[in-house]
C-alpha cells in the first residue's frame, strides 16, 4: 500500500520518547521535522517556521516547552498528540481552546495495556463500591523520574472516583466525593486510614520503566489489577497509533479510550 507522506513536527525530539517516535515516523514513510527545546536557542522561531509545514504535531517535551508549543499552536492550529507529563490547569485550559479548532489527544500514558487498566479499574470500582473495599494504588518508576505520584497513578485515582460515582448514581462521574480523600503515602505517615479513602504510594529506584497496581482490599478477599511496562517503546507505539487515528477527525479533545474503542 502506497503511503502519502506527511510532515510530522516532533517537539522534544532529543528525548528517549522523541528518538523512538522519530524512528516510527520514518519507518512509516513520513517526514519528521524535529525540534529540541533544550538545545534550540530560538524555540518559538523554530515552531513558527515549521508549524505551517506540519500536518501533525507530537509533543513529548516538558511543561515549559509545552507552554511555548501551545502558544504557537493557538496562532497556527495543527492536530496534535501531547504526551508531556506534569501539565497544569493553565495548559489544559489552552488545550480546551485549541480543541475547538483541531483534533487533539493529551494523555499521561500511551501504553495500550495501561489504558485498558484505567478502564478495568473504573469497572471494578463501580462493582465493588467504597463501603466494603479499600483502594490502594502503588506505582514504581526508575530513580530519575521527577514527579510523584505518576500521571498514570493520578489517572487511576480518577478512574476509581469515576467508577464509584457511577456506582452511586452521581450525575457527574468525574467529580471526586469530598468524603473520600486521596492519601499520598510517604515516610513517617502515622495517621489512620479514613473509610473510603484512596491510597497512593510511589516507589522510585533502579531502571523500572513503569509499574502500576490497584488493590481493592476487602474482608477475606482482595482484587489486584496490574500493568507492568518492560520497554519504553510501548509508549511510542501507542502515541503513534493515537496520532494516526487522529488524522481526519473533527475538532475536539479525544482520549486513548477513543483510540482503543473502549
First to last CA, the chain: 28
Helix (H, G, I), strand (E, B) or coil at 189: coil
Cβ neighbours of residue 24 closer than 8 Å, sequence gap 6 or more: 236, 237, 240
- 254: its cell numbers: 479525544
Contact, 54 vs 33, CB < 8 A?
Answer: yes
Counting other chains too, the contacts that 71-76 makes at CB distance below 8 Å and 24 or more residues apart are: 71/44, 72/44, 72/47, 72/48, 73/98, 73/102, 74/98, 75/48, 76/48, 76/51, 76/52
Catalytic positions, please? 141, 145
Output the CA–CA distances (angstroms, integers) from residue 185 to 70, 100, 175, 191, 224, in the order listed.
34, 39, 22, 10, 19
- Sheet arrangement for strand 198-204: 182-184, 198-204, 134-141, 210-217, 222-229
192: which DSSP letter?
A: -
Amino acid at each position: 500500500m502506497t503511503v502519502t507522506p506527511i510532515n510530522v513536527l516532533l517537539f522534544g525530539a532529543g528525548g528517549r520518547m522523541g528518538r523512538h517516535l522519530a524512528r516510527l515516523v520514518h519507518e512509516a514513510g513520513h517526514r519528521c521535522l524535529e525540534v529540541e527545546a533544550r538545545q534550540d536557542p530560538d524555540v518559538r522561531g523554530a515552531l513558527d517556521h515549521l508549524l505551517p509545514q506540519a500536518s501533525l504535531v507530537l509533543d513529548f517535551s516538558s511543561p515549559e516547552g509545552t507552554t511555548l508549543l501551545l502558544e504557537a499552536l493557538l496562532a497556527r492550529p495543527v492536530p496534535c498528540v501531547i504526551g508531556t507529563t506534569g501539565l497544569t490547569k493553565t495548559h489544559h485550559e489552552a488545550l480546551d481552546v485549541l480543541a475547538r479548532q483541531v483534533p487533539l489527544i493529551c494523555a499521561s500514558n500511551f501504553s495500550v495495556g495501561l489504558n485498558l487498566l484505567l478502564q478495568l479499574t473504573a469497572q471494578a470500582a463501580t462493582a465493588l463500591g467504597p463501603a466494603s473495599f479499600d483502594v490502594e494504588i502503588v506505582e514504581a518508576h526508575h530513580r530519575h523520574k521527577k514527579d510523584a505520584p505518576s500521571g498514570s497513578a493520578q489517572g487511576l485515582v480518577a478512574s476509581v472516583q469515576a467508577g464509584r460515582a457511577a456506582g452511586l448514581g452521581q450525575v457527574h462521574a468525574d467529580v471526586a466525593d469530598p468524603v473520600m480523600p486521596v492519601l499520598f503515602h510517604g515516610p513517617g505517615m502515622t495517621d489512620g486510614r479514613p473509610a473510603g479513602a484512596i491510597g497512593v504510594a510511589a516507589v522510585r529506584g533502579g531502571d523500572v520503566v513503569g509499574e502500576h497496581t490497584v488493590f481493592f482490599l476487602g474482608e477475606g478477599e482482595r482484587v489486584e489489577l496490574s500493568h507492568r511496562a518492560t520497554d519504553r517503546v510501548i509508549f511510542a507505539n501507542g502515541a503513534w497509533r493515537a496520532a494516526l487515528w487522529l488524522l481526519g477527525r473533527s475538532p475536539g479533545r479525544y482520549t486513548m479510550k477513543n483510540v482503543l474503542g473502549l
